[in-house]
Chains A and B, each alone.
Chain A
Amino acid sequence: MLLSLCQADLGYRQNHAVLTQVNLQVRAGDFVLLAGANGSGKSTLIRSLLGGLAVLGGQREVAKEMRLGYVPQSVDLDPSFPVSVNDVVMMGLWEPGNTPDRDQAKAAIAGQLEQVEMTAHAVRLFGSLSGGQKQRVLLARALVRNPTLLLLDEPVSGVDARATEIILGILEQAVATGTAVVFVSHQPLALRERATRAMLVRHGTMEELPVQTLCSREGLELLWT
C-alpha cells in the first residue's frame, strides 16, 4: 500500500469538511481515475493526497518508500515566471536533502525531456510554450524523481490529441513498471481503456465504481448531477 485514506474527513477548517468519509487505497501499479464535476471537492482531495492539508478526521497513511510525482494544471502556473524548461524539470529533483551531481542531474533532465518529446525546447522560457507542451514538461518534472506514485490534476484538459496520446502513453509505461497513477479528471472517457479503477467524487464524498460504469452514460449522468 502506497497511500491510504481511511474514513477521512477533508477540508480547510475543523467542522467544515468539504469531503467526508473518504476511503482510498492506492497500490503499486494501480491506474486510478478520479472523476468529479467542477466544485465537487477534487482540489481539496488533491491537496490532501499531496499532504498539504491535514485530514480533519479519520486516517491518512503513507508508505515510507513512497515518492510522489505531481503534475498540476499548467494554467495554474504563472506564465511570466522567469524559468526555462530545463529549470522546471530540475525542480523535480529539489527534494530535501538531495543535492544531485550536476552531470547526473543534466542527464536525468535530458532523458525525461526526450521521453516527453520536448528536447528541442529545453532552453525556452516555460511561459512561452503551448498548453500541451507545458503539460509534457510538468510530466517530465514529475517523472525525473522516479516516483512510486504519480498524481495528475487534469493533465490533458485543453491539450491537443497528439500531446494527449504522448502523456497517456507515458503513463501506461509508468504503470507497467509498477508506478501507481492517480489521474484526476472531469472528462473520464479518455481513460476508459487505461484506468484499472475509478472513483467518483460527488455530494461531499467519494465512491468507487467499475471503470466501465463510470465511463458509461449512466456514470456520466452521475458525474454531472
Chain B
Amino acid sequence: MDLIENFGLYRELFGLSFLASLVVGIVLPLVGALMFLRKEAFLGIAVPQFAAAGLALGLLFLPWFPAMSAYFLDHGHPPMGYLLPFAAGAAVLALFLFSLMRRRGGHSGALLAASFATASALGILFLNASPAGANMADTVMRGEVLLLDVHGLEVLAGVCLIGLLFLIFCRRTLLVTAFDRDQAVALGRRVAIVETYQFLLLGIMIGAGVMTVGPILVFGLLFLPPLASRATATTLAGFLRGVLWAGLVSVLLAWPLSLQLDWPYGPAAVCVAAVYAILASCWGRFRRVTIN
C-alpha cells in the first residue's frame, strides 16, 4: 500500500536504478544463456570475480590521478569511464586466460577454482590498501543498485546496448557454434572472429555490470534465468524467450521486496531468480512425468 501511495517519490528517487535493473535484467540473462549453451557457465563464477578485483585495483590507483580523486570526493565514486577499463580489462584477461586453459586441457576445473580464490584475495588486498575504496566497494559488492547515478546508467546502458546488438546480429553464428562448432565452419561462418569479439564484449559487459550493479546480481542474472528456462524449453527459440522472461520477472519482482523489506536490491533479485528457477524446474519435471 505504502508502495502505491508513494509511487511518485519512489519514481523520482529510484527511476535511474529501475532503468538499470531493466537493462541488466534483459541483457545479462542472454549473455549467460550463451555461456550456458557453450558449457562455459563456470566462467560466470570466476570472470565477475576478476572484474571485481580489477575494480578494486582501479580504486587503489585512484590517488595517482588527482582529477579522478577530486571527482570521487564530489560524487562519492570515481568516473565510470575511469573504472571501466580496470573492471572490463580484468574480465577480458580472465576470459582470455580461461580460453587458453581450455585449449590446453588438463586440470581446468582446479585452475578455475584457484583463479577464483586468487582474484578474491587480490580484490580484498587491493581494497585494503585503497584509502577510498572500502565504502564504495562495500556498496557495489552488496548490489545496492539503488545508489546508481545517471553517469553509471549511461555506461551500463551503452555497453549493454552494444553487447545486445552484437548478440542479435551474430545470433546464428553464436548459436550454431555453441551447438556444433564444426558445422559453423562448414557453413562458412567466421567462427574465430565472432568468438574473439564475443570474448571481448562479454568481458566488457560483465565488467560494466560488476562495477555498477555488483557481482552478486551479475552472477545471479547470468545463470539462474538460463537454468530456469532450460528446465521447460523444448526449442531454441523457446529457451531464449524463457531466459528473457525469467530475467525480467526477477528484476521486476525484486523491487517491491527491496523497498518494502529493506533488502539490498541485488540479493533480492537473485533470490527471486532462484525461486523462479526452482519453480520452473518442478514444473518441467511435472510436465515430463505427465507427458511420459
CB nearest neighbor in A for B230: A82
Minimum distance in angstroms from B105 CB to a CB of chain A: 13
CB < 8 Å: which of B183, B230, B234, B238 contacts A80? B230
In residues 36-66 of chain B, which contact A (Cβ within 8 Å)? 37, 39
8 Å CB contact of B186 from A50, A86, A123, A125: A50
User: Any chain B CB within 8 A of the CB of A77?
Assistant: yes
Q: Is the CB of B187 within 8 A of A82?
A: no
Encode B228-246 as 1/0 by CB contact (under 8 A) with A: 0110011111110000000
Least Cβ distance of B78 to chain A in Å? 41
Flag whether B189 is at the interface (Cβ < 8 A). Answer: yes
8 Å CB interface, B159-204 against A = 172, 175-176, 178-183, 185-191
Give CA–CA (A46, B179) in the complex, Å. 18
- B203-243 CB mask vs A (1 if < 8 Å, else 0) is 00000000000000000000000000110011111110000
Chain B residue at minimum C-beta to C-beta distance from A77: B180
- Chain A contacts with B in 70-111, Cβ cutoff 8 A: 70, 72, 76-78, 80-84, 86-88, 91-92, 94-96
Is the pair A82, B239 in contact by a Cβ cutoff of 8 Å? yes
Taken together as a complex, chains A and B put the C-alpha atoms of A51 and B238 apart, in Å, by 32
Question: Is A47's CB within 8 Å of the partner chain B?
Answer: yes
CB-defined contacts of B234 to chain A, threshold 8 Å: 82, 84, 123-125
Which residues 50-83 of A have a CB within 8 angstroms of B?
50-52, 68-70, 72, 76-78, 80-83
Report whether B180 and A72 are in contact in the complex, using a CB–CB cutoff of 8 Å: yes
Interface size, chain A (Cβ < 8 Å): 31
Q: Is the CB of B238 within 8 A of A82?
A: yes
Tell me which of A47, A72, A78, A81 has the highest count of chain B C-beta atoms within 10 A of its own C-beta. Answer: A81
CB-nearest residue of chain B to A90: B236
- How far, in whole Å, are A86 and B235 apart by their CA atoms in the complex? 8
Interface string of A168-212 (1 = CB under 8 A from B): 000000000000000000000000000000000000000000000
A78: chain B residues at CB < 8 Å are: 39, 179
Q: Which residues of A contact B179 (CB under 8 A)?
A: 77-78, 81, 83, 88, 91
Interface size class, chain B? 20 to 34
Which residues in A have their C-beta under 8 angstroms from that of B189? Answer: 94-96
- Specify which chain A residues have a CB less than 8 angstroms from the CB of B39 in the assembled complex: 78
Give Cα A47 to B184, complex, Å: 12
Chain B residues lying within 8 Å of A68, measured Cβ to Cβ, are 186-187
Q: Which residues of A contact B181 (CB under 8 A)?
A: 52
Which B residue's beta carbon lies closest to that of A52? B185
C-alpha spacing A68/B185, complex, angstroms: 10
Which A positions have Cβ atoms within 8 angstroms of B? 46-47, 50-52, 68-70, 72, 76-78, 80-84, 86-88, 91-92, 94-96, 123-125, 141, 145, 151
Interface residues, chain B, CB within 8 Å of chain A? 37, 39, 172, 175-176, 178-183, 185-191, 229-230, 233-239
**16 A-B Cβ contacts within 8 A?**
A52-B191, A72-B180, A76-B180, A77-B180, A82-B229, A82-B234, A82-B236, A83-B235, A84-B236, A86-B235, A87-B237, A91-B175, A91-B176, A91-B179, A94-B189, A95-B188
The 8 closest A-B pairs by CB, nearest first: A70-B186, A82-B239, A52-B185, A82-B233, A94-B172, A84-B235, A87-B236, A95-B187
